[in-house]
Amino acid sequence: MSSGADPAGIEWSDALVLQGGRLLAEKTAVVCEVPLNVFANGKKMAVIACTGNYPEELAVGYLYSEGIIRNAGDIINVEMSVAENTVRITCMQKEGAEPERADAPESIASSGARGTAASTALRPFDNKEPEALKLTPERISMLMESMIAGAVLHNVSGGTHCAALADVSGIIVSREDIGRHNAIDMLAGYVLLNGVACEDKIIVRTGRVSTEIVKKIWNMGIRLVVSISVPTSSAVRHAAEAGMTLVCGVRGGKMKIYNGKGRIAT
């Protein structure tokens, strides 16, 4: 039953629950799903299915991942309408150019992604490798355990993905959503809106590592990804091209490291 202090993004629904061979009527926690309308310079860019939490971060991060916002300096204004469940962003653009519409207004992007990264090669990072960006397997497992322990919505409902921004000392901020892409876009929005430098940061996350996920994280300038799930073959290739390290299947003291490049200390 609800404690009266449920986290935002949770509702309670009637259900029959099988316990000890009997069906019992109970209230069960379910994660919210709401449509978020995202506008850039007055043009509707997408309708994103999400929990409804951190909408400004999600909208900014989505436009950043799609290349409509290139950096924090491109953001002029962010306005949230709770009544309309809409985020309107005014951003800089090249003279004579208009933002390309990412999705038809009628469609709902449950993941917040278009899948445009699959055929796009990623160039290696230009700046110098941070000396602090080195983790032991024990520290990697500790970061994963810390993120999972703090995944409030998932621990209550079992219905979200989680992604966290971290450094070698621990988790900095976590975001949860029904879409694994959304959780990454929220972190991208957080980074832009708060002026966070990402050269020495790490992404810790749940969910499969696809090419689109690799591109979103590369776009943030992050070189090391830790995931509880596995990568795709294309994600491994794109990460290697970009000089990114993927540490996947992190659970039960086990993990698989792709393109370690001296970032994993044994």
pLDDT tens-digit readout, 43-81? 999 999 999 999 999 999 999 999 999 999 999 999 999
Mean pLDDT confidence for 207-212? 95
Choose between 131 and 137: higher pLDDT.
137
pLDDT band at residue 94, thresholds of 50, 70 and 90? low
Distance CA 161, CA 80 (A): 24
Give percent of the chain with pLDDT exceeding 90: 80
Mean pLDDT confidence for 199-224? 96
pLDDT band at residue 6, thresholds of 50, 70 and 90? confident
Instruction: Give 103-121 pLDDT, tens digit per residue.
Output: 444 545 655 455 444 456 7
Q: Which of 83-97, 129-143, 199-213 has the lowest mean pLDDT?
A: 83-97
Mean pLDDT confidence for 32-42? 97
Task: Report the predicted TM-score, pTM, of the whole model to 2 decimal places.
Answer: 0.90
pLDDT at 238: 96
Mean pLDDT confidence for 93-108? 56
Instruction: Give 18-29 pLDDT, tens digit per residue.
Output: 999 999 999 999
Q: Which of 125-129, 150-154, 254-258 has the lowest mean pLDDT?
A: 125-129
Average predicted confidence (pLDDT) for the chain: 90
pLDDT at 112: 46
